[in-house]
Amino acid sequence: MTRTRYSTVAILLHWTIAALLVWAVLLAWSAEDLKGMAKMVPLQLHKPIGITILLLTLARIGLRFVLPAPPMGEHLKRWEVILAKSVYGLFYLLLLLIPLLGWATVSASALITRFPIDMFGLFDWPVIQPLFDLPAELRHTRHEQFEAAHKLLAKVVIYGLIPLHILGALKHQFLDKDNELAKMIPFLARKDSAA
């Protein structure tokens, strides 16, 4: 039978990742306003949240192979399908790359032994050993490069993908009134619709 909405696990993963993403970004922004070691308070929470996003995104991608996404509405124009698929694909890619770059940034940081990636008091997430083992000067250069890439890609998500994704969802809900959003928010499903 063809699915008319995402599976419950996919819906839970989608909204958990979205909430964690907002939380990670707010913590990172609050760190920017702080000076010196005070920055480390929000950043110490930012790190395990980011690692959790990495793990949940891997689970989300794995789940897509087991339970494929419901098909896109046949009424959608070609450009809409291409745009939507590109945004989804980029989301998955960047939600893997950004936390990996964050992990690389802190693995190459001189502060990692004082401020490990503490997974909510449960255990310390390991460092990427080859980065940790680099000679001090090269390690510092790599740290700066990974941090710059981490921040740049985070901006692409915050100012590019998230607004596009939300605008697309609102267009379907209020202009097209085509029930696409109900695939991810089941209680929005219109009773008069077949989907």
Interface pick for ligand HEM out of 84, 91, 108, 150 (rule CB under 6 A): 150
Distance of CA 22 to the CA centre of its chain: 9
Residue 146 engages ligand HEM in binding (rule: CB under 6 A): no
Give yes or no for residue 84 binding ligand HEM (CB under 6 A). Answer: no
In terms of CB distance, is 32 or 133 closer to ligand HEM?
Answer: 32
Shortest distance, position 160 Cβ to ligand HEM, whole Å: 13
Q: Compute the Cα dihedral for 130, 151, 154, 37 and give only its sign.
A: positive
Compare residues 28 and 131 and give the one whose CB is closer to ligand HEM: 28
Burial of 36 (0-12, 13-18, 19+ CB in 10 A): exposed
Least distance to ligand HEM, CB of residue 13, Å: 14
Indicate whether 28 belongs to the interface with ligand HEM (CB under 6 A): yes
Q: Is 50 in the site for ligand HEM (CB under 6 A)?
A: yes
Chain positions 86 to 105 lying near ligand HEM, rule: CB under 6 A, are 95, 98-99, 102-103, 105
Residues 125, 140 contacting (CB under 8 angstroms): no
| Helix-then-strand count for the chain, H and E | 6, 2
Kindly list the residues in this chain that would bind ligand HEM in the complex (CB under 6 A).
Answer: 21, 24-25, 28, 31-32, 43, 46-47, 50-51, 53, 95, 98-99, 102-103, 105-106, 117, 147, 150-151, 154
